[in-house]
Amino acid sequence: MSEPPLKKCHDCCDFTHTSYSRCDACRKKRKPQDRKRTRQIARAVFPIDLRKRVLAMVSKGRTFREIEGILGVPGPQIHSFARKNPLFRRELDDALLKGRDPKLKHGSAATYRNQGCRCPECRQAKAKAGYWARPPQTAQA
**pTM (two decimals):** 0.68
Per the CB < 8 A criterion, the answer to whether 126 and 112 are in contact is yes
- pLDDT tens per residue, range 80-95: 899 888 999 999 999 9
Q: According to the model, what pLDDT value does residue 13 have?
A: 76
Q: What is the maximum span of the chain, computed from C-alpha positions, in angstroms?
A: 63
Strands (E), the chain: 7-8, 15-16
Cα–Cα distance measured from residue 96 to residue 54, given in angstroms and rounded to the nearest whole number: 11
Q: Are 75 and 67 in contact (CB under 8 A)?
A: yes
pLDDT in 10s for each residue of the chain, 141 residues: 566 667 788 778 777 665 667 788 888 888 899 888 888 888 888 899 999 999 999 999 998 999 999 999 998 999 989 988 899 999 999 999 999 999 999 999 999 889 888 999 999 999 888 765 556 566 564
